[in-house]
Amino acid sequence: MTESIYNTIQALTEINSPSGHAEKAIEYVKNEVEELGYATQLTNKGALLITVNGDNDEAQKCITAHVDTLGAMVKEIKEDGRLALDLIGGFHYNAIEGEYCEIETSAGQIYTGTICLHETSVHVYRNNNDIARNSEHMEVRLDEKVNSKSDTESLGINIGDFISFDPRTQLTSSGFIKSRHLDDKASVAMIIEFLKTIKNEKLTLPHTTQFYISNNEEIGYGANASISPKIVEFIAFDMGALGDGQASDEYTVSICAKDSSGPYHKGLREHLVNLCKLNNIPYKVDIYPYYSSDASAALKAGADIRHGLFGAGIESSHALERTHMDSIKATQALLHAYCLAPITQK
């Protein structure tokens, strides 16, 4: 199981899919699940819906995870041929300083580069550690022979071209997965693996369940539309946030009680906790203070749902992220238990 889920996570993280340009990742998931025999549907926004029929078609569940990631766009082509960036998603420049990246032109040409502080060289710029890491000082150094704005433009690079970060995905011998974009491609990989389990073990779900692979979560409106009115419970299958004052860790499944949007549905949260207790799944309940999810977005869009959130504990979120296979396994176990359980009546 370790090799299978890791291979799926790695395949997903290596597909560039910043918010606004996640088509290739959506296509990957679509092909994977259609090979398993599931019918799919693309929304007008480009999200992917996978509906698995269950015994009860009137009271349905929705589980959403997102393939879109943090990224950037070309903001300006500078006079020396380097690129100014504009960030996509909620993170800071220090999280990407020194990172290798790819720039994709509107014609589909890929160029490589490195995200640098303009004043990087300590042999030239004294006290450069004091320089703010912001849009004024951070730029992309292209791996091309360019010395002017016109040199770069001649490559076909333009304002608005997408910039993607090298994921650097690794599985260590101690069981850690290190990579950018585990938020939320680890969850998408777990959904694919669960759909394999449904087919291989010939499972029948108690409720028809819509698996909603969203493509705009990082910018706030991933799975807030195209939701069936039959859906009663809506799970954001996303990451658990780790850090000082947090209960979550890299070895358990994290269940969210509250984030910046407010409390999650109390009865559904208690249902998830009880499933963990009944199935001996290691878990932590936590509050994520600077966080919101596609479940939050669905509520704000007017969906009449009970909303919940759980996922693997992800260290250093929105930067060079890490989790452990123990957390992946615990999260997979809760996904399995939740999908096979009746809808809570609380």
Annotated binding site for Zn(2+): 66, 183, 218, 238, 318
The residues, ordered by sequence, that sit 6+ positions from 28 with a Cβ below 8 Å of its Cβ are: 11, 12, 15
Give the amino acid at 57: D
Binding site, by residue number, is: 66, 183, 218, 238, 318
State how far the Cα of 89 lies from the Cα of 78, in Å rounded to an integer. Answer: 23
Q: Is 270 a catalytic residue?
A: no
Q: Which position among 217, 233, 250, 321 bears the catalytic label?
A: 217
Strand-pair partners of 66:
214
Q: What angle do CA 316, 336, 341 make, to 5 degrees?
A: 125
Q: What angle do CA 158, 159, 161 make, to 5 degrees?
A: 75
Q: What angle do CA 178, 183, 219 make, to 5 degrees?
A: 145
Specify the long-range contacts of residues 242-249, CB closer than 8 Å, at least 24 apart: 242/313, 242/314, 242/315, 242/316, 242/317, 246/286, 246/288, 247/284, 247/285, 247/286, 248/284, 248/286, 248/313, 249/284, 249/313, 249/327
Within a 10 A sphere around the Cβ of 236, how many other Cβ atoms? 32
State how far the Cα of 124 lies from the Cα of 141, in Å rounded to an integer. Answer: 17
Are the C-beta atoms of 8 and 193 separated by less than 8 Å?
yes
Within a 10 A sphere around the Cβ of 183, how many other Cβ atoms? 26
Q: Which residues are catalytic?
A: 217
